[in-house]
Structure 1
Amino acid sequence: MNFSRTRVVLALGVAGALLLALIIISPMLMTSIPSFIGDGATDPDCTGGSQSEEASDSAASDIPADYLKLYKEHGEKIGVQWNILAAVGKRETDHGRSELPGVKSGTNSSGAAGPMQFLISTWGGKARIEMSSRFNGYASDGDGDGIGDVYNPADAILGAARMLKRNGAPEQVRRALFVYNRAWWYVDQVEEIAKRYAKSGEVEVPPQADDSCDEPLVEAAPNDVVAKILSFALAQRGKPYLWGGTGPDAFDCSGIIYAAYRTAGLSIPRTTFGQWPFGVKVSQGSEQPGDLVFFNSGPGTGPDRPGHVGMVVSKGQMIEARCRLCGPIKVTGYASRGNIVGFTRPLQNSDVIEQLTRLRKASL
């Protein structure tokens, strides 16, 4: 059976077409093109990442060799558990062996297609997409031919890995599976399959980062002001995302930055749209801790109107409050996210320079 159809049926019934566009049709919930999805695992000590897990005899006998290779390859590349990917492939289409409509061609009654049963709307609006084009969806090129083909296992499995990563895996893997197919019985079934596929009989979940990672990041700050900003931001790790949140219990992407700068006695714009033109632009590669990195993300955003922001904590790493279903606030990698709009340095804004001058005088 192809149970992915519940993603549309339940979402439409619960929240209507608008919420469906934000949660399912729009890739990664808040993103307008798929290259915003973070590729590659990050430092497992401080940011979380996938863990190596040997395949069980059950996995080796049940999963076609080419599929098993793809699950492992793309799971490692993106940073999600390969056995979770494999379990999704088993639950959806028996690793592409199902003869039901939509697996090898066309769609099922709900518009799902391919071995990982993507809704065509979430893939990008059509089954085969040139990866050089702009589109909204998870279409991916897993074999390097320049085409994102929903029926191609290499492409579909890479797209599924990105979707799971976007929505919380590997740390919040059950949450990510729920977004993949919005039913907890589905999550339970996939998890049970994944356990059978792992030699250990478990779904390994990396530990959440703790404050043992903070000290070296803060010590490397270019000055005391940035150190204060980073100390506050890093201390919020593990708290939930809340749209419009500025703390103390939850934040959105720009809210945590706004609050961090306030902790250092500095006032900057509250929203991403306000923060983008506020700071002085810096070129990629010249960014430093305390700078902001912006992404083209979400409805109504574009290359000149970014809708998501994170704060650089070290080269290639940022702290971000990503989205409600993406897991807690954490340090993640930004280097491989292809939809970066740019970097800014709020501390070089003329208003902030005046604020810093007043603070220094007041401290004398």
Structure 2
Amino acid sequence: MKLTRGRIALLVGLAGLLLLVAVVVSPLLLMSMPSFLSNGGTTVDCDDQAQVEEVSDSASSDIPDDYLELYKEYGKKIGVQWNILAAVGKRETDHGRSDLPGVKSGTNHAGAAGPMQFLISTWGGKARVPMSSTFNGYASDGDGDGVGDVYNPADAILGAAKMLKRNGAPENVRQALFVYNRAWWYVDQVEEIARKYAKSGEVKVPPQASEDCDEPLVEAAPSDVVAKILQFALAQRGKPYLWGGTGPDAFDCSGVIYAAYRSAGLSIPRTTFGQWPFGVKIKAGEEQPGDLVFFNSGPGTAPNNPGHVGLVVSKGKMLEARCRLCGPIKVTSYQARQNRVGFTRPLQNPAVLEQLKKLQNPAL
């Protein structure tokens, strides 16, 4: 087609009109666009209550009522997805309904027992472990009778929740499932069952594990100094645990806290053993972001000499570098954690108060 001056003018006019329409309409399209399209395909609600996964019709019809309540109770208490717990129970023994060897008594050919199919060696060396004894395993007392019974659903499900938590759940649930039964086909099968059990059809990760929830935590900090500490600490999430590590690529539990305080211009002791007596003791319930929470955990530790520490980022939540096999640095719940010793506030240590004065007035 031959372009005359008239046709050229007409085309230029049409192009301008289309550009005008795009400028006017595009904001309207953006405003009406589903929110999941604006942040990479997912939405995150930072309200924990909004993240409680509802039970699907499939789960309600398939899971016995008593088992369902136990999955939900101990999933919430320990901090793992209840539908993952339920999927393990389904895959292992059909929620205790299987008549195969080892489910209700004895062991199967691999030495596993109970509704969640624990190896007796990982449970505590025997099927029924008195909780007053010293043992090295996942034996748990879910029904409060003083005994960890591998055949008891409450005990077994609580033990399974602890095992999944210990090995990376809820954030790295595939790793946790792989440790539970070392086969990726098993991991895939359990996740598929878990999706069917959830009303949303998903395996959700708690919001505290999402970077989308960092900003509210930082904004809620009680001071600018604490905001800097939290901002640094949260940015280390996902990095590996390394004993003695102080960054920048890996940290141990006290190392990431030490580095976070340094990022705000403050110096505190490097190790957990030094950090415990350093801060001013805070009563449980009065802790706030920037405080430290300690646990009687690890070799050579005691109730008055804790060996593990986390950084409080909000009420009930802490950032921690737990151990090499526990997955990467992450935000977890400290409320349900056993062996909690107490809280301290390093910002009230006299030496830190002097450092704060100098930061506020460098001329001093």
Give the 3-state SS of the residue equivalent to 1:362 in structure 2: coil
The runs of 5 or more residues in structure 2 that have no matched partner are 1-43
Amino acid at match of 1:52: E
Q: Which position in structure 2 is the counterpart of 1:236?
A: 236
1:270 aligns with 2:270: yes
Q: Distance in 2 between matches of 1:332 and 1:164?
A: 13
Taking a change above 3 Å as real, the CA distance of residues 211 and 74 of structure 1, as seen in their structure-2 partners, is: closer
Q: Which position in structure 1 is the counterpart of 2:112?
A: 112
Q: Distance in 2 between matches of 1:222 and 1:200?
A: 36
Question: Alpha-carbon deviation of 1:130?
Answer: 4.3
Contact 1:48 1:171 (8 Å CA) reproduced: no
Question: Alpha-carbon deviation of 1:145?
Answer: 3.6
Q: Which position in structure 2 is the counterpart of 1:186?
A: 186
Alignment of 1:1-364 (within 5 A): 45=46, 51-57=52-58, 59=59, 62-108=62-108, 110-131=110-131, 135-198=135-198, 202-206=202-206, 209-363=209-363
Question: Alpha-carbon deviation of 1:163?
Answer: 2.0
Q: Distance in 2 between matches of 1:304 and 1:107?
A: 41
Contact 1:113 1:119 (8 Å CA) reproduced: yes
Q: Distance in 1 between matches of 2:265 and 2:86?
A: 49
Question: Alpha-carbon deviation of 1:297?
Answer: 1.6
Amino acid at match of 2:309: V
Question: Alpha-carbon deviation of 1:324?
Answer: 3.6
Question: Alpha-carbon deviation of 1:235?
Answer: 2.8
Question: Which deviations, in whole Å up to 9, do the C-alpha atoms of 1:202-259 show, x marking residues without a partner?
Answer: 4344566445534443344343333322222223234343333322233221111010
Q: Which position in structure 1 is the counterpart of 2:6?
A: none
Question: Alpha-carbon deviation of 1:314?
Answer: 2.8
Q: Distance in 2 between matches of 1:228 and 1:200?
A: 36
The alignment's TM-score, normalised by the length of structure 1, stands at 0.74
Question: Which deviations, in whole Å up to 9, do the C-alpha atoms of 1:81-119 show, x marking residues without a partner?
Answer: 333223212332333244444322233455432111223
Taking a change above 3 Å as real, the CA distance of residues 248 and 258 of structure 1, as seen in their structure-2 partners, is: same
Amino acid at match of 2:53: S
Q: Distance in 2 between matches of 1:269 and 1:47?
A: 33
Taking a change above 3 Å as real, the CA distance of residues 196 and 304 of structure 1, as seen in their structure-2 partners, is: same
Q: Distance in 2 between matches of 1:182 and 1:48?
A: 33
Question: Alpha-carbon deviation of 1:341?
Answer: 1.4
Q: Distance in 2 between matches of 1:343 and 1:206?
A: 24
Taking a change above 3 Å as real, the CA distance of residues 292 and 160 of structure 1, as seen in their structure-2 partners, is: same
Taking a change above 3 Å as real, the CA distance of residues 341 and 201 of structure 1, as seen in their structure-2 partners, is: closer
Q: Distance in 2 between matches of 1:287 and 1:60?
A: 39
Question: Which deviations, in whole Å up to 9, do the C-alpha atoms of 1:315-357 show, x marking residues without a partner?
Answer: 3222222334444433322122231112222233344344344
The runs of 5 or more residues in structure 1 that have no matched partner are 1-42
Q: Distance in 2 between matches of 1:207 and 1:315?
A: 14
Aligned length: 321
Q: Distance in 1 between matches of 2:130 and 2:142?
A: 13
Amino acid at match of 2:46: D
Q: Which position in structure 2 is the counterpart of 1:5?
A: none
Amino acid at match of 2:115: P
Question: Alpha-carbon deviation of 1:165?
Answer: 2.8
Taking a change above 3 Å as real, the CA distance of residues 222 and 213 of structure 1, as seen in their structure-2 partners, is: same
Q: Which moved more, 1:294-303 or 1:93-102?
A: 93-102
